């Protein structure tokens, strides 16, 4: 597969369409040195981005939490995303919007005088976990913990917050796993490296309380689906020792969509009827 710098198509940058290979930034870009960037991952189905406005609003909110402002309204961002799909002749695609502090007068921790830039790209991307949608993903348990909201802006989808996620996923892949589950700073079950997590037992669903990690758009969608099915959902703190008693497990996220989990460390789960129903229902919903 070619590198992502070698793909064909157009990328929207700062209000203009540029050729994919010409979408470049200077080496002194503040975000490269200090992770002053926020982003969104979105999927388009049948030519329409699922929950596009929610993603655009969250991008702007993430920037505010990171002490800068995206220089485009949500309406303008939505229009730019649609224009990228049109320019790339794509109907089913992954869409990445990113805003960052660029090159300016500052090159240090402070960057208040540097301009904020933004780009949107789209590309073809299949199942995030490959064939795990059929047999269930295998997860490692990360040694890294999601930090306290007193130490990071945990409600922001910010580039720097994924550093420990990258390291956790690399360690998991080295063990033959698809991903890793992370605990939080208190020792409660938190999430995977780029997806929220759900468990099922005795006809009810349990999911970690999103009080120190991102409350995902797909997570909220799936909770709504479960409630529509009259299935009780417990958003709560989950202790590690509870993993042994859960019957089913799945991950949710824009990239992950709804992916069954078959194993977390030494704990095993069945890819049961509820998991399959939610996965199928989500697929129908996003293509409706």
**Active-site positions?**
157
CB atoms within 10 A of CB 1: 5
Cβ atoms of 250 and 259 closer than 8 Å: yes
Tell me the backbone φ, ψ of residue 25, rounded to 5 degrees.
Answer: -130, 160
Q: How many CA atoms lie within 13 A of 189 on its CB side?
A: 26
CB atoms within 10 A of CB 59: 24
Cβ atoms of 210 and 190 closer than 8 Å: no
3-class DSSP string for 150-208: CCCCCCCCEHHHHHHHHHHHHHHHHCCCCEEEEEECCCCEEEECCCEEEEEECCEEEEE
| Euclidean distance between CA atoms 197 and 180, whole angstroms | 11
Q: β-strand 116-123 against 10-13: which pairing, if any?
A: antiparallel
Report the candidate in 50, 221, 59, 71 with the shortest Cα–Cα distance to residue 156: 59
| Euclidean distance between CA atoms 145 and 181, whole angstroms | 9
């Amino acid at each position: 597969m070619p590198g992502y710098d070698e793909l064909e198509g157009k990328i929207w940058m700062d209000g203009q369409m540029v050729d994919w290979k010409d979408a470049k930034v200077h080496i002194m870009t503040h975000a490269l040195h200090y992770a002053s960037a926020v982003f969104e991952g979105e999927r388009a189905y049948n030519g329409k981005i699922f929950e596009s406005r929610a993603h655009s609003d969250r991008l702007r909110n993430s920037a505010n939490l990171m002490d800068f402002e995206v220089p485009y309204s949500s309406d303008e961002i939505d229009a730019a995303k649609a224009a990228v799909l049109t320019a790339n002749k794509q109907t089913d695609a992954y869409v990445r919007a990113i805003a960052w502090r660029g090159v300016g007068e500052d090159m240090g921790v402070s960057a208040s005088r540097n301009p904020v830039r933004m780009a949107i790209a789209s590309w073809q991307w299949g199942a995030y976990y490959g064939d795990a949608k059929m047999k269930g993903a295998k997860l490692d348990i990360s040694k890294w913990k999601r930090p306290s909201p007193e130490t990071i802006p945990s409600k922001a989808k910010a580039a720097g917050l994924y550093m420990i996620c990258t390291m956790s996923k690399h360690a998991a892949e080295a063990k033959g796993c698809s991903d890793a589950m992370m605990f939080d700073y208190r020792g409660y079950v938190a999430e995977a490296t780029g997806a929220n997590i759900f468990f099922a037992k005795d006809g009810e669903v349990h999911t970690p309380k999103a009080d120190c990690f991102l409350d995902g758009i797909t997570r909220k969608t799936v909770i709504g689906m479960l409630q529509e099915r009259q299935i009780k959902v417990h958003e709560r703190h989950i202790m590690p020792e509870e993993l042994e008693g859960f019957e089913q497990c799945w991950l949710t996220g824009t990239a992950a969509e709804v992916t069954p989990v078959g194993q977390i460390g030494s704990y095993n789960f069945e890819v049961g009827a509820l998991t399959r129903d939610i996965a199928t229902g989500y697929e129908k919903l996003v293509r409706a």
